[in-house]
Amino acid sequence: MALGDLMAASRFSQSGAEVSSHLEEFSANGNHVEEDGDMNVYSSNNINNNNSNARDLSEMASSSYAAMTTTTSMAYLPQTVVLCELRHDGFEDCMPSGPSDSGLVSKWRPRDRMKTGCVALVLCLNINVDPPDVIKISPCARMECWIDPFSMAPQKAIEAIGRNLNQQYERWQPKARYKCTLDPTVDEVKKLCTTCRKYAKSERVLFHYNGHGVPKPTPNGEIWLFNKSYTQYIPLTLNDLDSWMKTPSIYVFDCSAAGLIISAFVELLDQSTSTSGPSAKDCILLAACEAHETLPQSAEFPADVFTSCLTTPIKMALRWFCTRSLLHESFDYSMIDRIPGRQTDRKTLLGELNWIFTAVTDTIAWNVLPHDLFRRLFRQDLLVASLFRNFLLAERIMRSANCSPMSYPVLPPTHQHHMWDAWDMAAEICISQLPTLVDDPNAEFQPSPFFTEQLTAFEVWLDHGSERKKPPEQLPIVLQVLLSQLHRFRALVLLGRFLDMGPWAVDLALSVGIFPYVLKLLQTTTPELQQILVFIWTKILALDKSCQVDLVKDGGHTYFIRFLDSIDAYPEQRAMAAFVLAVIVDGHRRGQETCIEAGLIHVCLKHLQCSSPNDAQTEPLFLQWICLCLGKLWEDFSEAQLIGLQADAPAIISPLLLEPQPEVRAAAVFALGTALDVGSDTSRDGQGEEDDDDEKVKAEAGIVKNLLNVVSDGSPLVRAEVAVALSRFAFGHNKHLKSVAAAYWKPQSSSVLTSLPSFAVKGSSSGYTTPTHYMPHGSIVPSPIAPLLRVGHDSQPVSRDGRVSSSSPLATPGIMHGSPLSDDSSQHSDYGALNDCVTNGVLSYSRRKPLDNALYSQCVLAMFNLAKDPSPRVESLGRRVLAIIGIEQVVAKSFKPAGVSIRPGEPSTSASASLAGLARSSSWFELTGGAHLPLAFRTPPVSPPRPSYMTGMRRVCSLEFRPHLMSSPDSGLADPLLASPGPSGVSDRSFLPQSMIYNWSCGHFSKPLLTAMDDTEDIIARREEREKLALDHIVKCQHSSLSKMQNQIASWDTKFETGTKTALLQPFSPVVIASDENERIRVWNYEEATLLNSFNNHDYPDKGVSKLCLVNEFEENLLLVASNDGNIRIWKDYSSKGKQKLVTAFASIQGHRPGVRSVNAVVDWQQQSGYLFSSGEISSIMAWDLDKEQLVSTIPLASDSSISALAVSQVHGGQFAAGFVDGYVRLYDIRTPEMVVSATRPHTQRVERVVGIGFQPGLEPAKIVSASQAGNIQFLDMRCAKDKYLTIDAHRGSLTALAVHRHAPIIASGSAKQLIKVFNLEGDPLGTIRYYPTFMAQKIGSVSCLTFHPYQVLLAAGAADACVSIYADEILPPR
């Protein structure tokens, strides 16, 4: 099966698993709306369609509600799973590294490719004269270099042998220079060695010594030569030889007792190491036998059997094999010399034998040797590699004659390796064909099945192997097979499958030497190899970025640009090509230049333009990598940025900021951010400013406006990129942003106060009259959502002209929470609708500024918002951005300022102290006062602030103003703030925070792409088990007899100082989770009465927790914590001590009503649709899709009254009910165009806020229970004209909490008077739970929260005295 088909089959995408679909499009026929305005129970998106019980949608839509009640209980078990993508796995703590370009990874590269430049052949044969220490047998081995020296005159014979040896070596290294000396003297050898070294320079020199005509080496390792008259043997010490040969060198000693030489040589090396430190010598030695052995004399071998194995391995191997095989009697050995073909032509018999021999010996070496030794001996030098392959054969053959060849470095024994059997088999098949081929030159040669069989063996390993098992021994063979067109495709596909197993597999393949092969293959034009080659290169570059240099050098980038531009490949595969190109240009100027010359920018933009939303081609992974590729292409490369701007790149990329996948949005932000030219400080702020290119400035303004649109995206991944992009902008426009920031900060005399800049929105129809609805400095907001901001707070009257009168200018500018986006989606404000009234002297510049002040103001606002982001990573990036424009962190003095009430709503003691109680978006002081983010602005020493004012500041905000003195206090600058380059090193680019999205996205390609993850079966099994359990419990709940809930089964003192605020029961384990006003979260096992975990929701907790929800009940559930300010944080592993991890965090509420102190967020989560709904003291309800991590809808509220209670239907996706402060209850359905289904005002006795609301159990969609502060509980059917059908007066004026069971017909209400009442759905009281005084007889606090177990009749109650109690019926429910 081709890898392309494998890819098609798995269609691996970013998520790996199937992404759960969502309620994105609600077509009229798919979701039929009934006359009474209700939606049907199911949406095709949130039901498993393969469920046999799911009926036809239209049939269900028209069926009666009665039929719905009996419908499948799958409605109770939501199938949507969110927040389980790669990006949620430790985003906050991970520092992803992209492909490495150094260190461990590049170990596979031969550090210094070497070549043997010169070969010295020394033959001491002295034919006809036997040395004194040799006694020959008869018949005796005689052949030297396949010549019988006694068949001709001695002189002629030795010359012929010399010539032959020369030719035998030349076959392995034709380009080397060969010098031969026959029966030489010491001087001749010295001259030979020094000449060779001189010629070879720093290349390797080979010294081949044949000592068959001289005595054995001495115990000191000296070898023997002759004197001039051949009357004496003269010894040559190794020290001399080594000093002439120098390094690098390789020695071959073919003589008896050659092991003595190796021992002496090793000793010599050790001595030089001990005297001169670590030896830099690169010496390799090959010796024919051990110290006590003599060479084989049997006539079946040549006399120089060692040399023959090293230089003519095929001939030697076949001869030796034939003597041992069944063929030896009938076989004519002379045929071996007549094997047809050339060694270099693999389509001939001799070529194939050589090819198989290379594959076998390589495989043995790869499997037996340590990898670094393998690389040194088999991959660094062509001649050395050939000699060592052949040395393995010498070991096999000579050991059969009781002789053990030696080497330095020492190799482990390989003569019995099982791959030799495969060689014998291949040799036998070839030899059996030999007679036919020799007799008939036209006979067809049958290729050996060796490679096919080995590939099959590799395939079997792939089916069963893993990282923990022994690596596949066939890897070197796969490499050899790549040379053959016949097997190439199959080998590449199998190689692709192997590389997909993980980085360890890529590292193995690279160290076996695959790189030059796949690099060479990029020059082929074979279309069927394209996909698999792109895949293989993706895997290589995901591990090792350093290959970018090789690719550019060989022009490989054009291969990937062509593939990226081809339309017949899958988008996932083209995404890989984009990834490869991104790595090629990543931080590599030469790569950027060549890719731009090849037109990569236009290719990428073309594919972004033609990707329409309905087009199947727009695979998110493809869009993501096109953006990342573009971003890397023009990162810090102004020529490329210019080309991009001329091609209108920002306009083409910006629509991707609305894509459903956060990865695509983050990649688009990255591409836009890197298109901003950081420039140098001098060019941006100095004299060159006047010559600034207007087009570029306009483009930059457009880019920044687009970035401001996503500054409050739901995904921290995206916001982190926005922060990085804004830091680039801040770096380039440092001075202007500093001056705008200074306007926020600078203490000035009252007369100047009125000139603080303000902006008015013309024609705003936001429900507030325009004259008093002024926007703070520069906070104009891009469409589609217009802002609702206010200036100052309650204590500051706003005059008709929008000027603010106040004692403190610092309270003036309002900052919106989260971003320059408001809560009112129906309003649109245009950039043109701004009056730029900047008259403040700080902002007046004599020189033309690149961009208008309005945009700078918005940027400063956005930066402040990022600096108080709920995600710690984004928050720290936001602070770094502020540091660039001169606002620095200082240490806060105290956690909570003394004498100041932090809780919203409490009366403030003085005008200055009231700052601490400001609402979330009232002023950016909240950065320090409210959120305790310690920030200080570098205030100029020239105009010190008033002392009284300073003390108030310190008291309220624990903030320290630190005068920023320049190197010389008398520098004479009126305002050092504007002159200073900012924090130390701001002028240095290294200060800029680094983007994460690229490195993080690279991680996708290091993971297996062709196979599903192993653990899916366990997950499915666990889910099925939980679903079965849930269904059993649901049935029990629905048929449960009336329960009094008076049996207290557990009581837990949470030790919260401020009492329990919210509680939650886990569905499938006996665990209760509680939190308090200070956002401390504690997890407790109520069966074992043990505390499992306790942690802070965040570092500056003073908001209180509004709601706890469980996300993904049936999977590894996540804990959603909603703070009172609307910030959402979602935790995983929260019940393991100290192991909790933040999965994601975002601000769910944006914008703010004027004159409101606190947002008082109300939030609920709906698993069915994957939506989170949030509202509060704002004029709309925000609907967030947690799968897309995106604000999908903003539902404007009809009245001025704000929401005080919110509940979602757990059965009907998209449906929720809201209770208002003025007693109204409204039912919403996000699937209908008008959103509001019906509204009623049940609580009319006194206008009392709705404090609790919930859907009644069962599948009926519009039955609601609502409770008001006055103590009355209303049972409503929102479909009926008459408002309420049942009223219970539960608690007189003191109702604090309401809980409705999801499945059992039971509700509970709590009172400030320390009691809980339980009712059934008919309104009958079932029982009352009273709090009794404790044994100390103290009064116990009022009920603060109530919650039912989702699937059992259990009630958890939290009280203001920090006690959480759990109640059941009389009998404990079985778990």
1104-1114 tens-digit pLDDT:
899 999 999 88
Distance in angstroms (rounded) separating the CA atoms of residues 873 and 861: 19
- Asked whether the beta carbons of 240 and 192 are under 8 A apart, the reply is no
If you count DSSP H runs as helices and E runs as strands, how many of each does the chain have, helices first? 39, 41
pLDDT at 1234: 83
- Asked whether the beta carbons of 1317 and 1305 are under 8 A apart, the reply is no
Among 391-405, 596-610, 649-663, 1100-1114, where is mean pLDDT lowest? 1100-1114
pLDDT at 90: 66
Sign of CA dihedral 187, 189, 192, 196: negative
Q: Work out the pLDDT band at 343, boundaries 50, 70, 90.
A: confident
- Asked whether the beta carbons of 194 and 207 are under 8 A apart, the reply is no
Q: Work out the pLDDT band at 926, boundaries 50, 70, 90.
A: very low
Q: Please indicate whether residue 1190 or residue 430 has the higher confidence score (pLDDT).
A: 1190
1330-1355 tens-digit pLDDT:
765 554 434 456 888 999 999 999 99
Q: In the predicted model, what is the mean pLDDT of residues 963-972?
A: 32
**DSSP per-residue letters across 924-966:** GGGGTTTT----EEEE-SSSPPPHHHHHHHHHHH----EE---
3 state SS of 598 = coil
**DSSP per-residue letters across 324-390:** HSGGGGT--GGGGGG--S-TT-TTSHHHHHHHHHHHHHHHHHHHHS-HHHHHHHHSS-HHHHHHHHH
pLDDT at 108: 75
pLDDT at 1039: 84
Q: Work out the pLDDT band at 1324, boundaries 50, 70, 90.
A: confident
Q: Work out the pLDDT band at 433, boundaries 50, 70, 90.
A: confident
pLDDT at 170: 94
pLDDT at 570: 87
Cα atoms in the Cβ-side hemisphere of radius 13 Å centred on 1253:
32
pLDDT at 1270: 85
**Residue 485 is encoded by which pair of tokens?**
């067109």
Q: In the predicted model, what is the mean pLDDT of residues 52-64?
A: 34
957, pLDDT greater than 60 = no
pLDDT at 317: 93
**Residue 29 is encoded by which pair of tokens?**
């026929």
Among 940-954, 1111-1125, 1361-1375, where is mean pLDDT lowest? 940-954
Q: Across all residues in the chain, what is the average pLDDT?
A: 77
834, pLDDT greater than 70 = no
Q: In the predicted model, what is the mean pLDDT of residues 230-248?
A: 92
pLDDT at 7: 52
- Asked whether the beta carbons of 879 and 727 are under 8 A apart, the reply is no
Q: In the predicted model, what is the mean pLDDT of residues 145-163?
A: 94
pLDDT at 665: 95
Q: Work out the pLDDT band at 80, boundaries 50, 70, 90.
A: confident
Sign of CA dihedral 63, 65, 69, 75: positive
769-782 tens-digit pLDDT:
323 233 333 333 33
pLDDT at 970: 34
76, pLDDT greater than 80 = no
Q: In the predicted model, what is the mean pLDDT of residues 382-387?
A: 94
pLDDT at 662: 94
1223, pLDDT greater than 60 = yes
Backbone angles phi, psi at 56, to 5 degrees: -60, 135
pLDDT at 944: 36
352, pLDDT greater than 80 = yes
Q: What is the pTM of this model?
A: 0.80
pLDDT at 1073: 95
pLDDT at 18: 35
736, pLDDT greater than 60 = yes
Distance in angstroms (rounded) separating the CA atoms of residues 632 and 638: 12
Closest CA to 753 of 834, 807, 814: 807
Q: Please indicate whether residue 117 or residue 1013 has the higher confidence score (pLDDT).
A: 117
493, pLDDT greater than 90 = yes
Distance in angstroms (rounded) separating the CA atoms of residues 929 and 810: 12
pLDDT at 1088: 92
% residues pLDDT > 90 (the chain): 45
890-916 tens-digit pLDDT:
533 333 333 333 333 333 333 333 233
1165, pLDDT greater than 90 = yes
Distance in angstroms (rounded) separating the CA atoms of residues 758 and 805: 13
616-652 tens-digit pLDDT:
447 899 999 999 999 999 999 989 999 999 999 999 9
% residues pLDDT > 70 (the chain): 74
585, pLDDT greater than 90 = yes
Q: In the predicted model, what is the mean pLDDT of residues 837-861?
A: 58
pLDDT at 686: 39
